[in-house]
Each structure stands twice: as C-alpha cells, then as structure tokens.
Amino acid sequence: MVKHTVIARVSDGLPLAASVDDDQNGEAELADYKNKAKLLFKKMNENSEEKCSIESGNYYFHYLIQNGVCYMTICERSYPRQFAFSYLEELAKEFSMSYGNEVEKRNLRPYAFVKFDTFMQKTKKVYQNTRTQHNLDRLNTELNEVANIMTKNLENVLWRGEGLEKMSSLSDQLRYESQKYKKSYYIGDFGGINNNNLFLRTL
C-alpha cells in the first residue's frame, strides 16, 4: 500500500507538494519515515540515480527523478515495485504538464503546488487495490522494467556515506555489488551481525 508521497526539487530539496494522509494507524512511525524522506532529498543531486528503491524496516522509499524533480513514495514492503514506479510515473507526467514551467522559480515557497494532492489521491486509489484487472495487467507488462532498478539500504545512505549517484557503467555496478557482498560476508562470518540489509540487491 502507498502510505505517503512527496514531490521535491532536486537542486535544493525544496518540497513542492505532498499527499494528505488519512490513515491514522501507525502515524508516529510514518512521521519518522517522512523525516527520513527529507534527509534523502538533501542527499540528491544532478548525478543521482533516476530510479531507486531504498529499504528500511517495514517500508520502502521508491523515487523517480525527471526534469529536476524527484517524486518519492513510501510504501509497505509487500507492495509491488511495478505499481509504485508506475504510480510515480503517472504523477510525474501530470505534474510536469501542470507545473513544469514553474518548478525552477527562485521565489517558490515550500509546498507551492499543494493542490496537486487532488490528483495524487485520485491516482493513489487506482493503485491501492493490487488485484484489479487494470493492475494485474500492469504487473505482468512492467515486471522487466523494474528488474534493474537499484535497491539500497536507508541506513547506509543516510549514515554510512553511501551516495545515490548513478553507476557510470555495468562494470561499476558489478564491482559495487561485489564489494558489498564481501563486506556483508565478513561481518556475518566474524561479527555475528545479520547481513541481509547490508548489500545492494535487485528485484
């Protein structure tokens, strides 16, 4: 399930719009994740991965960057990534058409496009039920499209210096995965630490 969505400018992390959440269950926990989303925006720049999934506890942060704008959603771990990125792509298309020419204005205030929540709520409802025929068809057709989207660990990104920059080549990506695997193997073998979240994975 999609829990929260926020749109921000990549150059400075300025929040442009956010969803109004009506689910009161787990509100305190979700508030913590919203704060972490703000920290993630501060880590972004023009060299950041255009699509990425970041895991943390019971949730995933999925984000999409287009035309200097980052579209990020917080979803439950069980929610299919195909749906999350398809949802973000629909938001990106509509937001760009509606506000694309205004995004880089210097005098923008935070959440200047708060009215975009109406479209977010409408689109969110379409993707909430993963068993509708519309979404089942989408699940089948988009599986390969998300297979190569990078998955990173939130704690590594925020506190251990791991960036969100693009891998410049396939060899860089393989080297990165190899280093992560070696590190997780070493810690798991000698330090008694659960290493499941220490290395980069793909779906």
> Strand, coil or helix: what is 84?
helix
Domain hosting 180: range is 167-203
CATH number, residue 83: 3.30.450.50
What pLDDT was estimated at residue 184? Answer: 46
- Give pLDDT tens digits for 69-113: 999 999 999 998 888 999 999 999 999 999 999 999 989 999 999
Taking residue 134's Cβ as centre, other Cβ atoms within 10 Å add up to 10
What pLDDT was estimated at residue 24? Answer: 58
Question: What's the whole-model pTM score?
Answer: 0.73
Worst-scoring range by mean pLDDT, 52-66, 82-96, 119-133, 151-165?
A: 151-165
188 and 101 in a single domain? The answer is no
Best-predicted range by mean pLDDT among 29-33, 76-80, 117-121?
117-121
* Count: domains in the chain: 2
Does some domain include residue 156?
no
CB 134 within 8 A of CB 98: no
> Strand, coil or helix: what is 28?
helix
